[in-house]
Structure 1
Amino acid sequence: MKILSGLLLFVSVFFIAGFTPDTPTPYKIGDIAIDFKLKSVDGKMYSMSDFKEAKGFIVVFTCNHCPFAVKYEDRINALAKKYKPQGYILLAINPNDPAVQPDDSFELMKVRAKEKGFAFPYLFDEGQKIYPQYGATKTPHTFLLDKNLVVRYIGAIDDNVDSTKDVKEKYLENAIAALESGKTPSPETTRAIGCSIKAKK
């Protein structure tokens, strides 16, 4: 009887373990981000390890269709142009499944990048493997990493979605300035505001 009970317990544990979703724990401040290799609209594959001299990385999860993401496109482009010469590389990642949101297909990403003159790699999270690692939930959702890929800031780009001229707090830029001064960003986290990431259910 004991043998049978033990066998049933083993089978139960195996069954549960085998079918528990392997959901990554979202990054927190101080975590070290895992590098990725994703395809960009220019046809090339990009990793953070490609940028040997980088002082840090601005990883922005964004997309084509979301009204919030669209309102931030020009600001994201300006950030890429401003901070690349300073050693901070901006990498934009589209996390959405095009089967759920056709406007976010790779082909339409290429069209959007050309129309807007994106000055940064616009990457496709094919198979939706990267955004769960980061814990991104919105488009846009921003992660600032230092040169060692340590997560130093998570959240919104600034405090005003609708109007650039009415922005009072440039959260991301303030976080970069803190790193440049050898200080801890404050705040280290803010609430990302945007559209939910579109994934198959």
Structure 2
Amino acid sequence: MMKSALYLSCCTVLLSSFLPIRELSLELGAPVPQANVACMDVSGKEISLQTAKGPNGLLVVFAGNRCPYMIRNQERLRRACAFAQQNNIGVALVNSNEATRNDGESLSMMKAYASQQQLPGYYLLDKNALLADAFDANHTPECFLFDKHNKLVYKGGIDDNPGNADAVKVPLLQNALNEMLAGKSVTTAASGSLGCNIKRKL
């Protein structure tokens, strides 16, 4: 019995050494991860999250060009990003869809999408999904709000009904922005994010 248990334990250790290391979920209060990594913006400039940050904080949204949930949330996202910018909160939309760069998520398609949607802020190409892995982001859209001290104060969805704007009861991101700007703790600091899966390379 002891030999069997020892054998199974050794096999588990051996197998785990070949498994990819999963990123830990980004906890509330955490600093901006990979803040100094430069990513290509649709403007043609290389921009880091630290560069994108405004005096009052930073809003990071993992986004995509073709996701049905992105399309349903375009106006809501545009309003939230514009509000953030108006209040000196930097905005960085991040496209981490590495597996579909040749199928609608290329830099040129990102440029076209940003221009068409008149997206406020930066729209960054996340090479090899480095930022998505560091944030443990898995959906588009998925939001991360940091205060002026670079601390995470909200993560999750734009609101409580990403599929239907007319049925929204709680504007989660807007509430978080309002409370943070007022110097208050965010009441609902984390929520589930429903959207398309980020298309990482396997």
Q: 1:138 to 1:16 in 2, by over 3 A?
A: closer
Give the aligned CA root-mean-square deviation in angstroms.
2.2
Q: Distance in 2 between matches of 1:182 and 1:153?
A: 14
Q: Distance in 2 between matches of 1:20 and 1:165?
A: 43
Q: 1:154 to 1:117 in 2, by over 3 A?
A: same
Q: Distance in 2 between matches of 1:97 and 1:145?
A: 25
Deviation at 1:52, TM superposition (A): 6.6
1:10-35 deviation digits (Å, cap 9, x = unpaired): xxx99976x56344322111111220
Q: What SS class does the counterpart of residue 130 from structure 2 fall into?
A: coil
Q: Which runs of 5+ in 1 are unaligned?
A: 1-12
Q: Distance in 2 between matches of 1:86 and 1:109?
A: 25
Deviation at 1:119, TM superposition (A): 2.0
Q: 1:99 to 1:55 in 2, by over 3 A?
A: same
Q: Distance in 2 between matches of 1:126 and 1:192?
A: 22
* Residue 127 in structure 1 maps to residue 120 in structure 2: no
Query: Is contact 2:59–2:143 with CA below 8 Å preserved after alignment?
Result: yes
The number of residues matched between the two structures is 188
Bigger shift: 49-58 or 175-184? 49-58
* Residue 32 in structure 1 maps to residue 31 in structure 2: yes
Query: Is contact 2:100–2:199 with CA below 8 Å preserved after alignment?
Result: no
1:23-78 deviation digits (Å, cap 9, x = unpaired): 43221111112203211111111223325752111100010111001111222222
Query: Is contact 2:59–2:84 with CA below 8 Å preserved after alignment?
Result: no
Query: Is contact 2:59–2:146 with CA below 8 Å preserved after alignment?
Result: yes
Match of residue 137 from structure 1: 138
Query: Is contact 1:153–1:188 with CA below 8 Å preserved after alignment?
Result: yes
Residue pairs, 1:43-192, within 5 angstroms = 43-51=44-52, 53-99=54-100, 102-192=103-193
TM-score of the superposition, structure 2-length normalised?
0.83
Q: What SS class does the counterpart of residue 43 from structure 1 fall into?
A: coil
Deviation at 1:99, TM superposition (A): 4.1
Q: What SS class does the counterpart of residue 69 from structure 2 fall into?
A: helix
Q: 1:28 to 1:51 in 2, by over 3 A?
A: same
Q: What amino acid does structure 2 have at the position aligned with 1:55? A: N
Q: Distance in 2 between matches of 1:55 and 1:162?
A: 30
Match of residue 4 from structure 1: none
Q: Decide which structure has the larger Cα Rg and report it.
A: 1
Q: Which runs of 5+ in 2 are unaligned?
A: 1-12
